[in-house]
Structure 1
Amino acid sequence: MKKLKNIFIPILAALLLVLVSSCSEDDEKFIVSDTEPVVLGDLTITDIVLDPVNTNNPAVTFNWTEADYGQQVPVTYQIEVASDEMFSNSATAATVNSGNTVTLSASEVNVAAGNVGLPPFAWNMLYARVTSSVGTENGLPVASNSISFNVFPYFNYTFKDYYLVGNGVAPGWSNDNNNPPLFRDGNNPNIYYYTGYFTNSDGDFGNGRFKILETRGSWQPQWGVSDDEGDDVLKTSGSIAGNPETQDGDPGRFGVAADGYYQFSINFSSKTYTMAAYDASGATDFTSIEIQGSAATTTAMTQSTFDSHIWYLSSVRLTQGDLQFKTNSGSVWGGTTEFSGQATANGGNIPVIVEDDYEVWFNDLDGRYILIPLNL
């Protein structure tokens, strides 16, 4: 009998543990229930002009009823805005982890309006709703009613600009020496290009090198290869790293093995890059290029002394309108995307959507251009 008792006691204990655990899981599953949608209150004002000077001033306050999921659970509220009543193009303007009210600043509303595609300096309808959910996984989400109001946004330049630095490129290891920018893709703001001349006259391991800066005159943030400096052997592709984006220390260096033209591309979404030789032997050597169009007074661009295919204007006033690049041969290059893109001969008009002083760069090898506002 003692033998049987020793066998059955552990079995009964295990069965009891399974039963208690099963009951506990079922209790949690059935106690939490769907809430009725919270009710988002109407605003006291329906026309909101967003102040571009006092951007931290309050612009709008949202109030809503509290969600009830049947028990005391952590509830998250997301304030969602959209450009249409169906919320087919929406963005999260704020997240609230306690309470049922939030006040957004002019800057926060302006960013949200820009994220859903509302143009600046024009009255447009903005829709808002609140979605409640449970826990860190946003379980049992339920959307409220939607309300609408008119906003007059100011311009919000949301793009990042990146600049070359290193002994393989024009400015050398100076972080504030008219460092050429990378050319941002006109349709994907995470992808950048630079097709041009790179130098490494003696093939030394430490020469022909470069990195990417986010701000001229500052060494951080900076981007390079994921290998540590010293182990950063030359590669045609690989992963990138950034200080402080991905790590505390500085990343390794990109580079080329010999003088010549190369095509460099970098994707800040996938954190990858490519570097390939580029055949520039058939490229036209223009002697002058100027900007023209309704957005600008016709102005001659400066040709880079390091790379004859790179042209720039350090500062030029552009107004709302269109822009083209005209070469000494009479060809006119244009594109269709604002701020950056790829121009082609007779390719249309580059839209300038907001007046400001701009830095303008054009690459006649691949037609890429970038217009960087200086005051926005």
Structure 2
Amino acid sequence: MKSTINKLFTLCLMSLVLFSCEKDEERLVLRQGAAPTLSATSNSVELTAETKGEDAITMNWTAADYGYEAAVTYTLQFIAEGGDFAAAREVEATPGTLSKTLTVAELNTLAVQLGLSPNNEGTLQVRVQSSVAESVTPTYSNVVSFNVTPFLDIIEYVSLWVPGSHQGWDPGSAPKVSSVKDDGVYEGYVNFPEAETNFKLNPAPNWDNDFGGTSSGNKGTLVAKGDNLQVNGAGYYLLKANTNQLTWEAIKTTWGVIGDATGSWDNDQDMTYDATAQVWKATLQLSVGEIKFRANDKWDINFGDDNADASLEYGAANIKITEAGRYEVVLNLANPGNYTYTLTKL
């Protein structure tokens, strides 16, 4: 009898311990933490290419309080003013820290990714998300706003200048074609608004040396100090030159946006060239999905974005649209080797 009572007592004690553990565990899983408080070291930041390795801004926040020792992950979420945090650009903080410093280059990339125009002041908004586990709802800090003026980070490549009848034969103000690999192979995009354009290719923005040559069907050969090169037909051209093989070619292009975010991978949404701004533009209703830019309704010449940094590469990854809405889409091919785009939600 005594043995039976002892066994029952032990069983009840074990049940009580298990019940207590389950209740404690339940409280640990379900308790939502107290949100952190966020602040920034500046409310206005001007970014320049000359200072891109320097610190731009630091975000500081208080620790989220979950009522127990927790390994908290903090993630900064950035949007352009008026945007949706569901489509934010995220920057994860180093574990165990309560601050994050962004360099000029990092903040510039974020600003451009979020649609801010280079050399124009815009406003970014940021909050910090704290999370401990998938079973616990994340908490979010207050939203901090600050102004930022991004820059267009242009890499200066070895180039040929393109003076001609399209711009008054002035090498100093002429558009350029560039050799990204410095291998004698050049390309760039040039607007020729006349039915017939005569031009030359100059190794410097002066008349000390130049390439002319022969022209037939918008291509030909290069000859030092040769006859004017000639393109027939007004338009926006991909201009190529090879100083090793002494050849050149001009391919007329019109540009469009294509992808499931526009409704179909079968039909392009045409863009319009703005000669004053030297960019292609379109105002489009985009859904969540992906897009690319391509020329002449074909895939021979197309751009994507491998690094999601608003910088374009030939044949690169699709560009993700994470928030549906009406957008101004701008394609900038004016700086050879530095092709960019912006997506501004209207």
TM-score under structure 1 length normalisation: 0.43
TM-score under structure 2 length normalisation: 0.47
More helix by share: 2
Structure with larger RCO (C-alpha < 8 A, sep 6+):
2
